[in-house]
Amino acid sequence: MASIPVLQPPSAPLNPPIHLPLHCTFDADDWNKLARHWYPIALSREVVDGPVAAKLLDELLVVYRINGQVVVANDLCPHRGTPLSMGGHDGKGITCAYHGLRFGEGGRCNMIPAQPHDAIPQKLHLRTYPAVESYGLIWTCLRPDPDATAPDIPEMPHWNDPGFQQITCPSLDIFGFAGRQMEGFLDVAHFGFVHADTFGDPNNTIVPPYNPKPTEKGFEVEYWSSVGNYPIGKEDRGKVGFQWLRHFRVHLPFTATLEIHFPGEARLVIMNASSPVSAKVTRLFAPIARNFDTDLPVQDVYDFNDKIFREDKRIVEAQKPECLPLDPRLEAHIMADRSSVGNYPIGKEDRGKAGFEWLRHFRVHLPFTATLEIHFPGESRLVIMNASSPVSAKVTRLFAPIARNFDTDLPVQDVYDFNDKIFREDKRIVEAQKPECLPLDPRLEALGGPLGIVGRHQQIVGIAEGRRVYEPEVGHVQEALHLAAGEAEDIDGGAGDLLKARLIPVWHVRNIG
C-alpha cells in the first residue's frame, strides 16, 4: 500500500495571530494578559484513550495522547467545524466524528478517509498549544512567551520529596471568577465561619498579625495561629497550645500553595490552581502532597477536601460583584485581609506584589507643571508630566507626556485611553469645585491633618517664597511678607480648623482623598 503523503510544515510558524475566542467573556486587553500565563486544563489520568474536551479563557480545547505525548489543540475540526472531542482515538490519532479525519502528533492531520492517497492541505492541521504534565495535571498556555527558556509552571513544595504521597484530587467547577476563588483560598479570617463543619473553630476566630512578603512570582505569607487543621470529630485534634504554621506561596495570577506544619515533622501541601474557564466559571485543580497517613484510602482525601472546597464554593458563587473588584477601593478591608488584597491592577490581572511599598516621587515646577515618577516592583518606572496650560482663568489645557521602561510593545492607544480615563475622573471633580480658582490663603479651606500626611491622598498645588494672600474685604491680591522658614507647628484634623502659630509659606497641601 502506498504511503500517505503529508505536506511538510513551512519555515514560518503554523499558528495564526492572536485572536479572541468566540463569545469571549473577557475584555480584550484582560484576555491578552491572562493568556500569557500557564494554567491546568485536565487531569493527566483522564487523558488516556480518547479525546478530552477542555476550556480555558473561553477557548474550546481538545486534549489527547499520541505515542506518549500530550497534544492540546483547538477543539474544532478544520474541515467542517465539528468538535474533535466528539470523536474517537484509533491509536494513531484522534478521529473526527463527522468525516473521520485523523489528527496525530503535533495536531497534524495524517489521514483523510475520503481521499487517503492525496496530499493533505496545510489548512487541515490543527492549531496547537504547548503542553506540560506536572503534579498530575496537564498545563497549557494560550499565548506563550517566545523568549521563555522554560514553561512558567508554579512550584509545589515537597511534591517530589521522598516520603511524600502524591495525590491529585478530582477537579471542581465553581461558577465564579478565578480571582474570587483565589481570594477565598488566601483568606485566613473565614475558617471559623465557612469551615465550621470541617476544620474551623467558631470559638477561635481571632487573626494574629502577619505580613506578606514579595517574591519573584507573587508573594508569600507565614501565618501562625492556634486554629488546627484536623477534621472535626477527630479525637486528637492536636497538642494544646500548639501554634500552627500555614505557609502560603502565591504564583500570580491564580495559583497558590499552602504548606501546613502539623505537630512534629508532619507536613501537608495543597496547591490551589484556579483555571479560568471563562470570566464567570473556574475549574479548580488541587494536587496534594503529605508525609503522614499515607496508608489511608486516597478516596478519604478526595472526600474531605471536596467538602472544604464546596464550603468555599457556596460563598464564591454568592458574592457580588461576581468578578473580583480590581480596584481595592470598591470594597471595605480589614487588617486580616492582607493575604488576599493588593495583588491585582485595576483592569490588570497582576496588580503587583502584596506588601510592596509603592514610591511616587512628585517634582513640582512652579507655577503649573509637575512630574510624577512611579516606582513599580523591580526596575520598572513610569514618569508622567502634568503640564497645566492656563488657557484662561477658567479654562485649562492639560498636556501629559509619559515615559516608561515596561510594556513597550503594547499599543500606544492603550496608554492614551487609560490615562484619558484617569484625567477625566479628575476633570469631573475639578470642574465642580468651589471656588473655581484655588484659594491662595490656606486658611480659607480646611486642612485634613498634619502637614505632610493630610488625608489619604495629597496633592502639592503650590510652593512660593513670596506668598499671595487673598483679602476678602479689600478684594484684591497683594504680596504677603516673605516667611522663608515657615513651619506647621500644630495643625488639627477637624474640618474648619485654622493653622495655629505661623502661616505656612512653603507648602499648600490640599486633601483630595
Asked whether residue 149 is domain-assigned, the answer is no
Whether residue 350 is contained in a domain is answered as no
Of 321, 325, 277, nearest to 21 (Cα)? 277
Domain-terminating residue out of 124, 140, 156: 140
Report the pLDDT value the prediction gives residue 200, as an integer from 0 to 100. 66
Whether 295 and 399 map to the same domain: the answer is no
Beta pairing partners, 248: 221, 258
Q: What is the pLDDT of residue 335?
A: 52
- Please answer whether residues 138 and 41 qualify as being in contact, where contact means their C-beta atoms are separated by less than 8 angstroms: yes
Q: What is the pLDDT of residue 52?
A: 97
Claim to verify: residue 219 and residue 325 sit in the same structural domain = yes
The shares of helix, strand and coil residues in the chain, as percent rounded to the nearest 5, are: 15, 30, 55
pLDDT digits (tens, 9 = 90+) for 109-125: 999 999 999 999 999 99
Tell whether 321 and 203 lie within a shared domain: yes
Is the residue at 11 inside a domain? no
Q: State the residue range of the domain holding 118.
A: 28-140
pLDDT at 507: 26
What is the reported pLDDT for 183?
84
213 and 321 inside one domain: yes
Give the model's pLDDT for residue 494.
32
Shared domain for 72 and 219, answered yes or no, is no
Structural domains of the chain, count: 4
Whether residues 471 and 425 share a domain: the answer is no
- Weakly modelled stretches of the chain, pLDDT under 50: 1-16, 232-233, 237-238, 325-326, 336-339, 342-354, 442-513
The pLDDT, as a whole number, for residue 129 is 97
Give the whole-angstrom CA distance, residue 383 versus residue 360. Answer: 10
User: 456: which DSSP letter?
Assistant: S
Together in a domain, 177 and 251 = yes
Q: Answer whether residue 156 is part of any domain.
A: no
Query: The domain spanning residue 276 has which CATH number?
Result: 3.90.380.10
Indicate if 476 and 510 belong to the same structural domain.
Answer: yes
pTM across the whole model: 0.62
Q: What is the secondary structure of 45-80 as a DSSP string?
A: GG-SSS-EEEEETTEEEEEEEETTEEEEEESS-TTT
Same domain as 176, residue 42: no
For residue 211, give the C-alpha cell. Answer: 505580613
